[in-house]
Amino acid sequence: MKTENQRAWFLVLPVLLLVAFNALIPMMTVVNYSVQETFGDNLFFWEGLGWYEQILRSERFHAALGRQFLFTGLILVIEVPLGIIIALSMPRQGIWVPVCLVLMALPMLIPWNVVGAMWNIFTLPDIGLLGYFLNHTLGINYDMTQDPLAAWITIVTMDVWHWTSLVVLLAYAGLVSIPDAYYQAAKIDGASNWAVFRFIQLPKMKNVLTIAILLRFMDSFNIYTEPFVLTGGGPGNSTTLLSIDLVKMALGQFDLGPAAAMSLIYFAITLGVSWLFYTLMTRDDLN
Amino acid sequence: MAKITLSNLRHSYYPDPKGPDDYALKMIDLDWNDGGAYALLGPSGCGKSTLLNIISGLLVPSEGRILFDDRDVTELPPSQRNIAQVFQFPVIYDTMSVRDNLAFPLRNRGVDEATVSRRVTEIAEMLEVTDILDRKAAALSPDNKQKVSMGRGLVRDDVNVVMFDEPLTVIDPHLKWKLRSKLKELHQRVRATMIYVTHDQTEALTFADQVVVMQEGEIVQIGTPVELFERPAHTFVGHFIGSPGMNILPCETTGGTAMFRGQPVALEGEIVPGDGARTEIGIRPEFVSLADSGIEAVVRKVSDVGRHIVVETLIGEDRVAAIVKDNAPATGETVHLNFRPDRTRLYRDGWLATTAGEAAQ
């Protein structure tokens, strides 16, 4: 008779411990804070779902969430098509391929706070190259520390500058994997350039674009460093995105309970949207 | 429908070719008759795909012209040549249904929907894909995908030539045979010129009425499968076609007689006079027999392939294969070989150099 036991489970124990220490336990601490009130000294009072209710009803959260969706929506609408267009116009072979790839990868190699600092200096009205040029040469009144619109244009432009390359590189990888025969067959079938894009290139790029959009959604939805360095959430609250608001609440005001509840709601939204998007995009493949 | 003429065609992938070695195609002059079933046969890298791409317009030749009937199409793009090409790996438009795939070349040319639907139904019936017309093309098996890409070629009724570039490479062996006979049947029904590129002699010989054999960018022989088998114009053809290929034996010629290892060998006819350093005797294993007297040889290997037995022998260092029906000798045994004179040819520098005897005519 075959002996059965459950000892194989011990093999996953190391991984379980690792995940517990770096993810589960910290996460449970947050859950712990989110349902209690504390005044320090390890004194806790049960709050139940009170903080969640407070966050979900707070206008401050609604505003930050709205700004967050606006920001993520804008950068996706710009970066995805722009990335595809750049990938389509990159050479497929020859000595310019590595040159283009390295140039494309450069922005992504710069640390995020450096990107924020660069753009901060770049756009200063009196000494920044762009700020000076706009204000003193073109005569456009541009100051992102005063004008919310200027601040928005700046953070969106900065993100496009920083991250379009990711879409480009992934889309390019999808494009170069298309065998020549597809293009040749399309030529013989008399397909227009648009038809080649619509029926060959886009379907072949679908998987990598799904990943690109997913990564850009998650990263931009959780963005903190660059806008923090660039605008600090201002002027006023106009560029206070979710993560900036969260840090203000948790570390600025030391409202640990509401901040914990907010971070869990924040996490649930990111996870929910990502899951929904991925499921919708890969649904066809499963059938 | 058109006759296709290739005139003084040369092609090099280098911008300025220096010697003949820089040319992927060396001087091709060839006519493809309207409605013919042709095979382009040759080993990998012999230039057959280059030739195909020149006919389809995917490549512009370095020199020479291509005529469809009397119209010069050398510079025309593929879409204006009315040709169809089926590639080694099935090319289908993943996101479209089978029906839309088949309709694609017609819709791109602005054909009205009624005609599109009629043609698609016709072609689908011919290819036996009617029941999967509304399936998404991405989910099909490789052989059905390849059928769909053939269908996209055949759906236009004005197509001048359909070209197949090793189309059965990714098809399972048991379906290869089926698809091959389907192709033959299609050719008989649509009567379009078809050119079938392959390095597989069985595929070439079963599909084509005329086989064009290529080697290193040159055409070495054009003929029916029987002609290629019986009277190869070049030792390469003799060697490439047949299983095992033709026996090629070095020989000397003295006074109009071929001498092999000091013994005269009877040939099919007269030796054509000419210069050339290297002379060889060519005889197919099918026409070598074992006898009581003749050239002495030692049996090296005997393989029973089912239909017949292949006896590999050595005469000195020269290998000679013979095909026998039964009574195979044992390995190591000494046997006597007879060459059937009317099937024994002389080759000079690789090219056939005997006049055809009466028996071969």
Q: Where are chain B's structural domains?
A: 4-230, 243-352
pLDDT tens per residue across span B301-315: 888 888 888 998 888
Please report, for residues A165, A176, B263, the alpha-carbon distance to residue A116 in angstroms, rounded to integers and kept in the order given.
17, 33, 92
Q: Is A187 in contact with B77 (Cβ distance < 8 A)?
A: yes
For the B243-352 domain, the top CATH level (class) is mainly beta
CA dihedral B53, B54, B60, B61 (to 10 degrees): 130
Calculate mean pLDDT across residues B247-265: 82
- Indicate yes or no: pTM above 0.90: no
Report the complex ipTM. Answer: 0.75
Q: Is A181 in contact with B91 (Cβ distance < 8 A)?
A: yes
Give a yes or no: residue A199 inside a domain: yes
Give a yes or no: residue A153 inside a domain: yes
Q: Looking at the DSSP assignment, which residues form a beta bridge with residue A116? A: none
Cα of A218 vs its chain's centroid, Å: 4
Q: Is B88 in contact with A184 (Cβ distance < 8 A)?
A: no
Q: Does the pLDDT value for residue B359 go beyond 50?
A: no
Range of the domain at A151: 60-254
Q: Does the pLDDT value for residue B361 go beyond 50?
A: no
pLDDT tens per residue across span B156-207: 877 888 888 888 888 888 888 888 888 888 888 878 888 999 888 888 888 8
pLDDT score at B324:
87
Give a yes or no: residue A85 inside a domain: yes
Calculate mean pLDDT across residues A63-76: 92
- Residue to mutate among B55, B56, B60, B95, with most A CBs inside 10 A, is B95
Predicted confidence band of residue B360 (pLDDT cuts 50, 70, 90): very low
Spatial separation of the C-alpha atoms in residues B237 and B228, rounded to whole Å: 7
Among A78, A34, A33, which residue's Cα sits nearest to residue A52? A34
Q: Does the pLDDT value for residue A286 go beyond 60?
A: no
B4-230 and B243-352 share one CATH topology?
no
Superfamily of domain B4-230: P-loop containing nucleotide triphosphate hydrolases (3.40.50.300)
Give a yes or no: residue A135 inside a domain: yes
Give a yes or no: residue A282 inside a domain: no
Number of A/B CB contacts below 8 angstroms equals 55
Structure-token pair, residue A49: 């779902």
Among B164, B232, B357, which residue's Cα sits nearest to residue A188? B164
Predicted confidence band of residue A259 (pLDDT cuts 50, 70, 90): confident
Structure-token pair, residue B244: 């095992």
Q: Does the pLDDT value for residue B319 go beyond 80?
A: yes
Q: Does the pLDDT value for residue B104 go beyond 60?
A: yes
Collect all residues from A whose CB is shorter than 8 A from any CB in B: 179, 181-182, 184-185, 187-192, 195, 199-200, 203-204, 287
Looking at mean pLDDT, say which of A64-73, A249-258, B52-61 comes out highest.
A64-73
* Chain A partners within 8 Å of B104 (Cβ): 189, 191, 199
pLDDT tens per residue across span A165-177: 999 999 999 999 8
Give a yes or no: residue A133 inside a domain: yes
Beta carbons within 10 angstroms of residue A146's beta carbon: 12
Distance from CA of A187 to the nearest CA of B (A): 6
pLDDT score at B357:
64
pLDDT score at A189:
85
Q: Looking at the DSSP assignment, which residues form a beta bridge with residue B40? A: B197, B212
Share of chain B above pLDDT 70, in %: 98
- CATH number of residue A199's parent domain: 1.10.3720.10
Among B155, B171, B153, which residue's Cα sits nearest to residue B163? B153
